Structure 1
Amino acid sequence: MLKIKDLNVHYGGIHALRGINIDVPKNKIVTLIGANGAGKSTTLRTIMGLVRGSKGKINYNDTDITNKETKEIVEMGAVLVPEGRRVFANLTVEENLTLGAYIRKDKSEIKKDMELVYKLFPRLAERKWQKAGTMSGGEQQMLAVGRALMTKPKLLMMDEPSLGLAPLIVKDIFEIIKEIHRQGVTILLIEQNAKAALEIADYGYVLETGSIVLEGEGNELLNNDEVQKAYLGETK
């Protein structure tokens, strides 16, 4: 579904991504793990057209999207849940979700999808008229995911969905990611909680200072000595 080939990104004099190659097959969960500053968020932002690559190609469903605008990419079915949630604080839950569907015209389908989001996140249904800025971090994360689902995505990209959340809420978020995947959505996940990410991922890539240093099936990376030492705080 998504193919990144020899992607390079520069921020001024900084070489942020150094010729990375990533494949995200349809109906799979793929994760990128790595330390802060490794280039994970830059990868997602470049896929979405928020950052321009200096070299390389990004193909989505056999279409070259390397230089496409973000709106076009969203219209094609690829959407990003950004790090830090970025909900519209002064708007209600329902208004945030409605904004998620701004590119759609199918009103009856939008209503159905709103109900599906509320079914997936009962807490949002209870708080539909509450202003997003007054909600807890976990609730805002659920809202950010729900808002992305309102675009009816084929590819859902998530940047640090568990960041700053309590362990119990993190567990809920990962259960929800698995449920979204079961509904036929392909997922590209960036996550500091490498163990939780690799446990649900079909395939994973390890990024270090802008380069992919390791890749393999989720289970394989979970049991890899180097990964355990560097990212899981474990040694065999």
Structure 2
Amino acid sequence: MLKISDLHVSYGGIKALRGINLEVPDGKIVTLIGANGAGKSTLLRSISGLVKPQSGSIRLDNKELIWSPINKICEEGIALSPEGRHVFADLTVLENLMIGAYLRKDKETIQKDLEWIYELFPRLKERSWQFAGTLSGGEQQMLAVGRALMSRPKILMLDEPSLGLAPLIVQHIFEIIREINKKGVTILLVEQNANMALKTADIAYVLETGEIVLQGSGKELLENPEVREAYLGKKK
């Protein structure tokens, strides 16, 4: 289990996270929803070691990670598919995927995992020798998720996987998220498409200006009148 306790993060004089308490149980899909600037991406970046908190605790299976370097956090089993995809445009699809496995020591099983990625995303297999920068937005998102999965994570963190994608592609991405979870990978999802996120999630949190203001099951928050009005465009 990933457990975050009283986490505070600031950028200069701006408090981005204010005492976050959050749990991600093994095998579940947990989602964070909230407006732009609420602190969702900052939280994921803090967990992955890209941003160092002022105070608080980030524990995975009771092991403190808050001051661990990024590579050690990855080796412990946390992978991030970042907002904006950030694929390596001048490398091939295959090369991008293999970068995801760079820190792995179980070299003999990497090919098996590569085949699993290709089963999840057949388009990537078709384009394995194509430069990543020539892929469509949806294909780049598939590649970003596949690259993160190649580290064989316990927890896969997804930052805005549906951003800028056509509705049919969004539907496909969420189907894949559920399929990955069925294979035993825990998911921590940040997503502005609140409707899809809450329908997919076992557990959901609402962030506003760096604080968690609501939490519950995905179904509970989907039916919450305040959430419906603020994030789903539906009146109470």
TM-score by length of 2: 0.99
SS of the aligned residue for 1:235 comes to: coil
Aligned pair 1:151/2:151, yes or no?
A: yes
CA displacement at 1:104 relative to structure 2: 1.3
SS of the aligned residue for 1:188 comes to: strand
Aligned partners of 1:61 and 1:106: how far apart in 2? 21
Corresponding position of 2:214: 214
Aligned partners of 2:198 and 2:41: how far apart in 1? 18
Q: Which runs of 5+ in 1 are unaligned?
A: none
Aligned pair 1:38/2:48, yes or no?
A: no
CA displacement at 1:70 relative to structure 2: 0.8
Corresponding position of 1:19: 19
Aligned partners of 1:9 and 1:105: how far apart in 2? 33
Corresponding position of 1:95: 95
For residue 188 of structure 2, what is the amino acid of its counterpart? L
CA displacement at 1:106 relative to structure 2: 2.5
Aligned partners of 2:174 and 2:131: how far apart in 1? 25
SS of the aligned residue for 2:119 comes to: helix
CA displacement at 1:61 relative to structure 2: 1.1
What pairs up with 1:1-236 in 2 under 5 angstroms?
A: 1-236=1-236
Give me the CA root mean square deviation.
0.6
**Superposition misfits of 4+ residues, deviation over 2 angstroms:** 105-108
CA displacement at 1:192 relative to structure 2: 0.4
Aligned partners of 1:219 and 1:5: how far apart in 2? 25
Deviations 1:172-219 (A, max 9, x none): 000000000000000000000001000010010000000111111100
Aligned partners of 2:215 and 2:72: how far apart in 1? 30
For residue 81 of structure 1, what is the amino acid of its counterpart? S
SS of the aligned residue for 1:146 comes to: helix
For residue 193 of structure 2, what is the amino acid of its counterpart? N
Aligned partners of 1:80 and 1:106: how far apart in 2? 20
Deviations 1:55-109 (A, max 9, x none): 1111111100011111000001111000000000000000001111000132320
Aligned partners of 2:49 and 2:139: how far apart in 1? 28
Aligned partners of 2:54 and 2:148: how far apart in 1? 28
Aligned partners of 2:63 and 2:121: how far apart in 1? 33
Number of residues paired by the alignment?
A: 236
State the identity as a percent.
67
Aligned partners of 2:111 and 2:105: how far apart in 1? 11
